[in-house]
Structure formats: structure tokens, C-alpha cells
Amino acid sequence: MAGGTARGTVGVDGRDIAYLKAGDGARTIVLVHGFGADHQTWAFNQPQLARGATTYAIDLPGHGRSGKDVGNGDMAVLAGAVAGFLEAMELTGVHLVGHSLGGAASVLAAARTPERVSALTLIAPAGFGGAVNGAFVQAFLAMTDEASAMHALRYLVARPELVSPAMAAGVLAAVSASRGAMARIAEAVFDGDRQRVEVRDVAAGLAGPVQVVWGEKDAVLAIPEGVHAEIVPGAGHMPQMEAARVVSGMIERV
């Protein structure tokens, strides 16, 4: 792809925030993964997006190659990491794309640095009301082997038969390396089936366009009532992976 890919790390609030950069186009897209994931959430999207933009897929604190210190693990830490990344990299006119908990973090980051964010795409975002599937969070944090990893991942996608053994092994390794940090975040943002995070009003107050995208068969965060979302047919909680081309197109359209 144009400009190739490059890994990097930048210091934010005393934490290392890792990112994968792809492309060198005039537009700037920053991709923020959800709870328990990392920049690879966007592996199927980044090549397409990088054809017309400079894209950065970041790792949130406690995830991927970023630092494991998450402080008290609450939204201020996660949103601070996203906003701090934009500041540290001196990015402006950013289209911020957040998935799930990363969607809530993106809304709060946009509110904190409105001069740097021009548009938002939120994919099955947390913080818009409705329940979270607490059984998924519990199963995710409790995975100890490939079978239990596979069990947890089955909540995420509408067609679990497409979860590859390599994906289960990769997620198991990631959770094993970050279980404490992830548990702290889960404790701070979820309470069983209840979300402690609420960003809908903040999103409504943002100046730029906010596009919301949701998988038709999401079993982790159901589409809350009253939210206007672009529906991705047949997809679960990971539409950016389950219907990569469709969702990449939705992102490019903004």
C-alpha cells in the first residue's frame, strides 16, 4: 500500500502508546480498538483505508504493545490516551474511528480535543445506553486455554465458525499478558450487564459529523433504542472484521 506500514511508539501521560501506521494520504484516520483487543482489530480495514489516507491504528493502555499501566482503568485514562496520542503526534483534521469501548473513548477524546477531530465513526460503541453482555466480559477475562478462548470469542461474531484457531491463540496470548490491566478496565467501565460509561450526550454535542455503525446480530452490545445507526447485515459485534469491505467503505464515505 502507498507509504507502506510502520510501527511506532509515542509517550502519552507517562505511558507508551504503540501504533501501526499505514498509508501516506492527505486525510488522517485514527483507529481505536475495543476492550481486550488491539490494533489488529483493523487488520482487514487498514489496507483499504490507507489507499486514500494516512492511518494510525493504536493500542490502548493495557492492550497490545502499549504500556500495561492503566491507572484506575476508567474512561478518563482511555480517552486521555487517545486525545494525548493526537496531541503528541500533532494530528489535526482527524477522522477518529472507534470500536466498542474504543468508540466511547473516541467520543470523549473528541470532546477533549475538538480542534483536532473533524469527524467520528463509532462502531458498536459503548456508552450509548443499553446492556453489555456481562457473560462475555467474564468469559473473556477467564480464558485459560484455546478452548475457553474460542468460547469467549464466539460471543463476538455472528458466524463463530470463522474464528480461526490462530485468532483464538493470539487473543489467549494477549489476555494472558494483560489480564490484570484488562480486568481493571472491565471493573471500571462495566458492572455485570450494566455499562458504567455514558457518552451519548457528549457525542450529541460534538460539532463534526458522527456516524454510528452497528452489526445486525451484535450479541455483546445490543443496539440501544433511539440510536440511529447504519446496520451491517449479518454481522455481530465485529462488523469491521466480519464485513470488512462494507465497513471500510462506510468509513471512507465520511
Partner 1 sequence: MDQDFVMPSLGVEIEEGVVRQWLKAEGESVAAGELIVVIGTTKLDMEVEAPFAGVIKKILVDVDDVASVGTPLAVLTTG
User: Residues in the site for partner 1, rule: CB under 8 A?
Assistant: 1, 5, 20, 22, 40, 42-44, 46-47, 50, 57, 157, 161-164, 166-167, 170, 238, 241-242
Q: Which is nearer to partner 1, 45 or 106 (CB)?
A: 45
Q: How far apart are CA 95 and CA 138, in angstroms?
A: 32
Q: Considering the complex, what minimum distance in angstroms separates the CB of residue 22 from partner 1?
A: 6
C-alpha distance from residue 93 to each of 10, 87, 141, 247 (Å): 19, 12, 36, 21
Q: Which is nearer to partner 1, 5 or 206 (CB)?
A: 5
Q: Considering the complex, what minimum distance in angstroms separates the CB of residue 171 from partner 1?
A: 10
Q: Considering the complex, what minimum distance in angstroms separates the CB of residue 212 from partner 1?
A: 22
Q: Which is nearer to partner 1, 47 or 129 (CB)?
A: 47
Q: Which is nearer to partner 1, 40 or 113 (CB)?
A: 40
Q: Considering the complex, what minimum distance in angstroms separates the CB of residue 5 from partner 1?
A: 6
Helix (H) or strand (E) run with residue 139 in it: helix 134-142
Helix (H) or strand (E) run with residue 211 in it: strand 210-215
Q: Which is nearer to partner 1, 79 or 168 (CB)?
A: 168
Is 72 in a helix, a strand, or coil? coil
List CB contacts of 19: < 8 A, sequence separation 6 or more: 7, 8, 9, 10, 39, 56, 57, 58, 59, 85
Helix (H) or strand (E) run with residue 11 in it: strand 5-12
Dihedral angle of Cα 239, 240, 246, 250, to the nearest 10 degrees: 110
Q: Considering the complex, what minimum distance in angstroms separates the CB of residue 167 from partner 1?
A: 5
Is 160 in a helix, a strand, or coil? helix
Residue type, 183: A
Is 176 in a helix, a strand, or coil? helix
Q: Considering the complex, what minimum distance in angstroms separates the CB of residue 224 from partner 1?
A: 25
Q: Which is nearer to partner 1, 188 or 250 (CB)?
A: 250
